Amino acid sequence: FEFGTLAPKVFILEIYLLFIPILGRVIATFLCSGEKEVDLAVQSAKAAFKIWRKKSGMERSRILLEAARIIRERKDEIATVETINNGKSVFEARLDIDTSWQCLEYYAGLAASMGGEHVQLPGGSFGYTRREPLGVCVGIGAWNYPFQIASWKSAPALACGNAMVFKPSPFTPVSTLLLAEIYTEAGVPPGLFNVVQGGAATGQFLCQHRDVAKVSFTGSVPTGKKIMELASKGVKPVTLELGGKSPLIIFSDCDIENAVRGAMMANFLTQGEVCCNGTRVFVQREILDKFTEEVVKQTKKIKIGDPLEEDTRMGPLINRSHLQHVLGFIEQAKNEGAKVLCGGDLCVPEDPKLKDGYYMTPCVLGNCKDGMTCVKEEIFGPVMSILSFDTEAEVLERANDTNFGLAAGVFTRDIQRAHRVVAELQAGVCYINNYNVSPVELPFGGYKMSGFGRENGRVTIEYYSQLKTICVEMGDVESVF
Ligand SMILES: NC(=O)c1ccc[n+]([C@@H]2O[C@H](COP(=O)([O-])OP(=O)(O)OC[C@H]3O[C@@H](n4cnc5c(N)ncnc54)[C@H](O)[C@@H]3O)[C@@H](O)[C@H]2O)c1
Ligand SMILES: NCCCC=O
């Protein structure tokens, strides 16, 4: 809940109220970091960077492995904090924490093998390249995967020898502090991973800071554009992990049970508040009725309620205004001719203590058409839109008809068709016969307005390092003068 804004260059403290979505009430207030605090954080990261960059890859690797070990050991505690802060089921939060320590382990594994190449030149001369860190990197996160986002950004950054100042979303400020605590306990130099709290103004101070070498951002497209603009003023490289409206294509020759499970995974994790969700579900006409019937049946079975209970699979949305925003999309979908096949209502769980939380029933919309708002815009809530199609060529054209390009999925038993279709899909991450799995060994990121740069996978090393070329002369200088 943001109070006012901070005009650039004017130092006014903002106060944030921290709501707990499970109960719908304030559990804390905190002050945001202003220009002065941001500068202190960057300066302390800069001092830590001087020590860290001198360490060998093996030394950095050992510390990252120790941090990964501590995260594994504290998994339940971190997952509980994440659930209280975000509202996602604790079952799911534990999976997020798993991909977090796995990410640290993965980049610990790469840290020691980072290096350049040696090139022979005429006359015994030679050249070589060094892969060097960038300096102080900034991470800015969204509220849907707070701990995971901070881990996915900091692990490759630190493995490459950088320092990081991270700003979580003001809606979910807590779990990143645990990550900072863990890095410190694991042995990183003080200040190497700093956390500043706040909203847009704090984020702007970070992006504009002259000692910041790079900005890695996860959030919405409109904010991504602003960040790119700010960073361009200092010619700072940016990674943008932005929103999506991804297609999931279900061909009639698929294994229907798997396709239904895939569609559920593609739409209802974290209350549907997932960037890469496959919310445009294109189903081939021959199996439309059967698929729809089964998806609706499964959706109605999702247990909504206190996300700290083991068998809950859907908790509250992040806050009241977002809940209203999502319900507004459903109202508009009805007005535009979509049919609510299930859900889409406010939900008051039986437990009286949850009565003020931000719960809704997961929704499946039928009779959807390409031009409807629910099909075109990112809803970021538990709302699946089902569309029918007849041919492969037609569905490809329609699937790609969007400015977003984060993810896409296809379900079919025809292996040739599967690869032919994903080759044509304009999306950074494509799934064949599954959806929303995130192995950290594979790069993650978008095409088109869903952003650029990647997280995870070997390639991300290139987004957190720079290449130096050294040219060595073994003979005399042959001057042209
Ligand atoms: N592609 C991905 O990996 C990915 C992952 C998670 C979420 N997302 C996207 O994030 C969005 C939801 O998250 P959100 O509501 O937190 O997004 P948001 O853009 O509102 O905010 C994201 C972060 O940016 C900060 N911020 C806001 N304005 C800023 C500014 N002018 N300068 C600097 N920082 C600023 C916010 O405080 C927050 O920390 C969705 O669109 C979703 O698809 C993308
Ligand atoms: N598990 C990856 C989710 C990132 C997007 O919100």
Q: How far is the CA of 145 from the centre of ligand 2 (A)?
A: 7
**Residue 255 and residue 202 share a domain:** no
**Residue 92 and residue 150 share a domain:** yes
Q: Are 278 and 263 in contact (CB under 8 A)?
A: yes
Domain annotation covers residue 474: no
Interval 21-47: pLDDT, tens: 999 999 888 889 999 999 999 999 999
Strand order in the sheet with 126-133: 118-120, 126-133, 465-472
**Cut 0.80: pTM above it:** yes
**Residue 87 and residue 66 share a domain:** yes
Cα distances (Å, whole numbers) of residue 188 to 53, 65, 163, 419: 11, 11, 10, 44
**Residue 180 and residue 162 share a domain:** yes
Cα distances (Å, whole numbers) of residue 108 to 65, 194, 370, 445: 6, 20, 45, 21
Could you tell me the residue range of the domain that residue 280 belongs to?
247-432
Domain count, the chain: 2
Relative to the alpha carbon of 439, which ligand is closest? 2
**pLDDT band with cut points at 50, 70 and 90 for residue 180:** very high
Q: How far is the CA of 218 from the centre of ligand 1 (A)?
A: 5
**Residue 285 and residue 194 share a domain:** no
**Residue 54 and residue 26 share a domain:** yes
Domain annotation covers residue 4: no
**Residue 267 and residue 208 share a domain:** no
Domain annotation covers residue 113: yes
Return the pLDDT at 13: 56
Domain annotation covers residue 400: yes
Report the distance separating Cα 16 and Cα 197, nearest Å: 10
Q: What residues are annotated to the active site?
A: 241
**Residue 88 and residue 104 share a domain:** yes
Looking up tokens 């099909």, which residue turns up? 375
Domain annotation covers residue 374: yes
Q: Is 274 in the pocket of ligand 2 (CB under 6 A)?
A: yes
The length of the chain, given as a count of residues: 481
Angle between helices 35-52 and 200-208 (to 10 degrees): 50
**Residue 426 and residue 351 share a domain:** yes
ipTM above 0.90, yes or no: yes
Report the distance separating Cα 304 and Cα 287, nearest Å: 29
Q: Is residue 9 pLDDT above 90, yes or no? A: no
- The protein residue with its alpha carbon nearest to ligand 2, atom 3, reads 274
Report the distance separating Cα 338 and Cα 243, nearest Å: 23
Give me the mean pLDDT over the 401-429 stretch.
98
Q: How far is the CA of 13 from the centre of ligand 1 (A)?
A: 21
Report the distance separating Cα 243 and Cα 252, nearest Å: 29
C-alpha count within 13 angstroms, C-beta hemisphere, residue 356:
7
Q: Is 438 in the pocket of ligand 2 (CB under 6 A)?
A: yes
**pLDDT band with cut points at 50, 70 and 90 for residue 11:** very low
Q: Is residue 60 pLDDT above 80, yes or no? A: yes
Interval 187-209: pLDDT, tens: 999 999 999 999 999 999 999 99
**pLDDT band with cut points at 50, 70 and 90 for residue 383:** very high
